[in-house]
Structure 1
Amino acid sequence: METTKRGGIPLYLWMLLGFAAGMGGGLYVNLNGLEVLPWVMDIIQAVGQIFLRLLFMLVLPLLFAALAVGVAEMGDLKSLGRVGFKTLVFTILVSAIAVGIGLGMVNWFRPGDGVDPLLAQQLLAQGAEGASAIVGNAPKSIEAGQFFLDMIPSNVVTAAAENQILPVMVFALIFGIGMVMAKSPATDALQQTLQGLFEVMMKLINLVIKLAPIAIAALMFNLSAVFGWELLLKLGAYAGVAVGAMAIHMFIVYPLLVWIFGGMNPLKFANGVREPFVVAFSTASSNATLPIAIKAAEEKLKLPRRISRFVLTVGATANQNGTALFEGVTVLFLAQFFNIDLNLQQQLVVMLVCILGGIGTAGVPAGSLPVIALILVMVGVPAEGIGLILGVDRFLDMCRTTLNVTGDLVAATVVSRGESDAIVPDDLKLPDVAPAN
């Protein structure tokens, strides 16, 4: 994995420094009742807006390419048959459980409540212009199948132009299935083209992420200058709820799935996944952990090679329970923070987009950042609020990546039950991979 550094310092430390600098400056202004010159504040706000607009510019082509290629890489749908179906069902159901736990925790503890509505409205007004075009995209009713009808775009180009993320993602899934069904040299070339598009978008997003320390400082200065110390308390409550929800999924849901549906002792499973667990936490990258996860599945868990390699490879992009959970918690927390009441239908939309967003999110550090930013705008929450969570995102990223990788191994264990191994030619055998230090 490529680790981004500046002057020998990891990028996430620069992000923390930007977070601290922006918050410190904003708190100083807030506590001393100082007034910032209008033109200075305009520049500070513009810096944050440029960062967010760059993310919005790149996110749709990134998600389309990731989803379409992810489905196409499953190969021949007929030959995959039972294995592909079991993997798909597991991914959807367990991701739904994860997001449900996260949304339930946020609705129960409500970590974002209690902010002065007048102060929240000041910041809300600043982000309203960028969100106004798509605030009303969430379905108002699920009667007569309208909710599901709205998921199918009559014109995908129009949907993309209007930033209707859910219809575009559904089209990407259907497009990927079509590439598998129409397998030919031409579709192989098309898949390579989409893979190239994905890599280009990832490269550009990595460049944009390098601006994150400056953008975080600008966003946090603006936020803390308005909200003061109240912001710190809310941020701590948010992190506590997010980690608590992940812990429930990791230590209750996963062991039950392994025991009941995988037919394996949870203690044996936990012992077998220690190495990928540590690597995932230290790198915050599902992609970087993939070789270690495959090695653990084959050598420690003794899973069939053809099953584990397929499930883990697809899962590194598609089965990201921790990311889906984190996105749901973050969106609802910020909605509460800005006194935006999301009804049941809107929360169901958030859940669906988080599940699909987990499929399309890149398995790299901060890979969920563009998806979160877009979901915020989709439900009418000011995207500037993303600056609240970026300062603590590295730790939460490590936690959710560990949940993602463990979930992939859980999926491989469940899907492998009742499946036999296939002979793997010597030229396809996995080379030895040394654990990361």
Structure 2
Amino acid sequence: MHLDSTPAETGKKGGLALHIKVLIGFILGTVLGLVVHASMADASWVHMLIEYFTKPFGQIFLNLLFMLVVPLMFSALVLGVAELGDIASLGRLGWKTLTYTATVTAAAVGIGLLCVNVFQPGSHMDPNLVQQAMSNAQAGEIVDKGNALNFIDLIVNIVPHNIVGAMADDKQKLGIVFFALMFGIGLVMKPTPGTRAFKNAMHGLFEICMHLIGMFIKLAPYAVAAFMFNLTAQLGLEVIKSLAWFVITVLVALAIHGFVVLPLWVRIMGGMGPRTFFRGTQEATLTAFATASSTATLPVTLRVAEENLKLPRKVSRFVLTVGASANHHGTALFEGITVLFLAQVYNMHLPLSTQLMVLVLCILGGIGTAGIPSGSLPVIAMICGIIGLKPEGIGIILGVNTFLDMCRTALNVTGDLATAVVVSNRSGETDLPDDDTMAHLEEIVR
């Protein structure tokens, strides 16, 4: 199968690579937002600019990506399974993906728990801020969502009773993954002219999605500038200062996992140099940071895996599509830090056994978290309820959650790509020639 050339050329037109343009948009939007917040934050034109231009523009960009997520996720996973060739290969690849995901996610949560015990961010909180946050109406909504979650429902909903409903519900993306897996297995088990025609149709759907992504992603630098302007113009630096210790704890833990654990993992287990890895993944990482959604970033993630990292497409499609729904290193790390932070705020000592339970719950919570902005907050509320904390305390972190959500999503996507590199290297899978190449080879043989 030939990917359309348009996506690969997206960042090369105009003389600057796309990730450079995204970085420029990020810096420009941040600087302009801080200037506006410092000099004219209450001006009516600023609110109108955000409400009627920058916010809708950013949302339209996200919607363009979300619009393609379901068809791309379905076609990529069906093709990934079908191209494995047999059920045994699927089983081996699935177990490797699950094992590596659980191992590295456990390492991420462990780093988070270590950092929160060392920095003790909860002991630096202003009691007045805590009381104000406890009455936050948005916090109450998140608690209600968290109370509605349980892991039995999560397991049951993996098998969707209504695939159309699952496509419309961000909390049931695992249902789409299961449905696509079943379709891929069916293609492997029933090789007939009809199923081969269906597989060709899936190739066409995948190529159409990738071509449209190449068009839409050209808007990324402008969307990133809009996102960062909205964030900094409305919040400035004050909200971050009030929760500085919590923010520092999260950022240090994310940095240790992202710049120490993942590079070592990619080098030792994946056989790829960290510089090559980060150079190849920076476009997806920046897009994830801007959108705060691993699901919305999936189109870009798939493209950089195949074009920049040169991973076998049948492995990358399987691992990354599953990873967008179930492999959230940064999210699990953040959930662990936040739960222990709230325990410190309430002066509640959690023994080692309880912290180990938090670790397990965060690993499972990372799987069940929706790959959308702030999707981890209901899961955090649920974990708090399980260990006896007041879930309403989650309102304390809402002011800095947007920025930290962007950071942890960037780690989620980087972790997905690292997993794909390791699985590709350890599985020994290689791509089969596409249909055009096979036809050409047959012609030569004849």
For 1:191-202, what aligned pairs fall within 5 Å after superposition? 192=163, 195-196=166-167, 198-199=169-170
Contact 2:240 2:247 in 1 (8 A): no
C-alpha separation between the residues in 2 aligned to 1:394 and 1:262?
Answer: 32
| Residue 285 (structure 2) aligns with | 277
Does structure 1 residue 83 correspond to structure 2 residue 54? Answer: no
Q: Give CA deviations for 1:185-215 in whole Å, capped at 9, x if unaligned.
A: xxxx73616615735889xxxxxxxxxxxxx
Is 1:423 aligned to 2:432, yes or no? Answer: yes
Equivalent in the alignment of 1:207 = none
**CA deviation after TM superposition for structure 1 residue 301, in Å:** 0.9
Structure-1-length-normalised TM-score:
0.59
4+ long deviations beyond 3 Å: 5-11, 72-79, 114-117, 119-127, 162-165, 170-176, 199-202, 231-234, 424-427
1:235 and 2:275 are equivalent in the alignment: no
Q: Deviations over 1:228-270 (max 9, x none)?
A: x9x9876110000000000000000000000000011111111
Tell me how far 1:288 sits from its aligned partner. 1.6
- Alignment-derived partner of residue 364 in structure 1: 372
Structure having the higher helix fraction is 2
Change (3 A) 1:314 1:201: closer
Aligned-residue offset at 1:341:
1.4
**How far apart are 1:115 and its partner, in Å?**
5.9
Amino acid paired to 2:306: E
Q: Report what 2:55 is aligned to.
A: 10
Structure 1 residue 349 displacement after superposition = 1.9
CA separation of 1:237 and 1:302: change in aligned 2, threshold 3 A = same
RMSD: 3.9
**Pair 1:97 & 2:142 matched:** no
How far the C-alpha of 1:101 sits from its partner, in A, is: 0.3
CA deviation vs aligned residue, 1:93-148 (integer Å, no higher than 9, x gap) = 1110000000000011111125699x899899989xx99xx9xxxxxxxxxxxxxx
Distance 1:116-1:294 versus aligned 2 partners, 3 A rule: closer
Cα 1:312–1:253, aligned 2, differ >3 Å: closer, same or farther? same
Contact residue 294 and residue 309 of structure 1 kept, 8 A: yes
Say if 2:341 is the partner of 1:333.
yes
Q: 1:241 to 1:421 in 2, by over 3 A?
A: same
Alignment of 1:278-357 (within 5 A): 278-357=286-365
Is the CA contact 1:111–1:241 (under 8 Å) kept in the aligned structure 2? yes
Which ranges in structure 1 are unaligned for 5 or more consecutive residues? Answer: 14-68, 135-161, 180-188, 203-228, 428-437
In 2, are the aligned partners of 1:277 and 1:402 still within 8 Å (CA)? yes
Report Cα offsets for 1:15-65 as digits up to 9, x if no partner.
xxxxxxxxxxxxxxxxxxxxxxxxxxxxxxxxxxxxxxxxxxxxxxxxxxx
Residue number among 261, 269, 272 corresponding to 1:261 in the alignment: 269
Q: Is the 8 A contact 1:164 1:378 kept in 2?
A: no
Task: Calculate percent identity across the aligned residue pairs.
Answer: 48
CA contact (8 A) 1:121 1:338 kept: no
In 1, Cα distance between equivalents of 2:355 and 2:54: 39
Q: Which residue of 2 aligns with 1:169?
A: 151
Give the 3 Å change call, closer, same or farther, for CA 247–232 of structure 1 in structure 2: closer
Structure 2, unpaired ranges of 5+ = 1-49, 59-73, 174-237, 437-446
Q: 1:88: how far off?
A: 0.1
Q: Is the 8 A contact 1:77 1:84 kept in 2?
A: no
